[in-house]
Structure 1
């Protein structure tokens, strides 16, 4: 699975990557590769990162893209943006239903993605857009 277009830097002071995925489950591991490249760019710019940041960022992106694959038809867009002392990880998809936070249930198998993202990022924000919705979370760098 290859993205429709590759990472893009939005400006010299703003570090971001945007990738449009065409669809399918291959978007999930591909999203982790995009995050890996973005983290490398952060390191090149000497951005101070916690040792746990790369794995946490890959997990958050992977969980958000997984939700897009499971609950929305068609393509999705992954955007990573350095915002102050955090990275905003946003996934836009074509689904119009907002994510559902299930009650905590340690016996439930699976469907813990939003719990994981919320635990790592503090909150998950969903906004409607012209073609569906965007789900985003900010992961602290340190």
Structure 2
């Protein structure tokens, strides 16, 4: 597991925030399952060790978001990619950077279309979704709110 850092920047109730981890992806499609495992382990640790309110339903939503983002990166971006998860205050960011300069756009809903629903799914599950070109490639970030009401 190519886990990244857990940074401390202060936070409430004894929790050091932000918490973050990253996972480097290569062309191997088995990394999709590993990326989901990294996300699950990160959220479990945030809940169990840092006391951050993370519901099981949120873990499952994040697993789906990660799966869709990583699958798309592996399918459409030939080079490296990096998954980054970060919790700051009460917001979880799920970020996927890849080396493809093509910025995707969600297609109009079409129940007859087979495939190409990944970005639609991510947009439906996240409170906020940003897609931006970077100097090399692009970054897609899904934001989810973690709060006591949903714990």
TM over 0.5: yes
Preserved CA contact (<8 Å) 2:17 2:89: no
Residue of 65, 85, 88 corresponding to 2:90: 85
Cα offsets for 1:26-56 (capped at 9, x unmatched): 2211110110111111112111123310100
Following superposition, the deviation at residue 16 of structure 1 comes to 0.4
- Unpaired runs of at least 5, structure 2: 9-15
Structure number with larger C-alpha Rg? 2
- Unpaired runs of at least 5, structure 1: none
**Partner of residue 38, structure 1:** 42
* Aligned equivalents of 2:17, 2:50: Cα separation in 1: 11
RMSD of Structure 2 on Structure 1 (CA): 1.5
Cα offsets for 1:65-118 (capped at 9, x unmatched): 111111111211000000332210000000000112111011222211111111
Preserved CA contact (<8 Å) 2:128 2:144: no
Q: Count residues in correspondence.
A: 139
Which residues in structure 2 correspond to 1:65-84 (within 5 Å)? Answer: 65-84=70-89
Residue of 103, 108, 111 corresponding to 1:103: 108
Moved segments of 4+, more than 3 Å: none
**Partner of residue 124, structure 1:** 129
Preserved CA contact (<8 Å) 1:21 1:75: yes
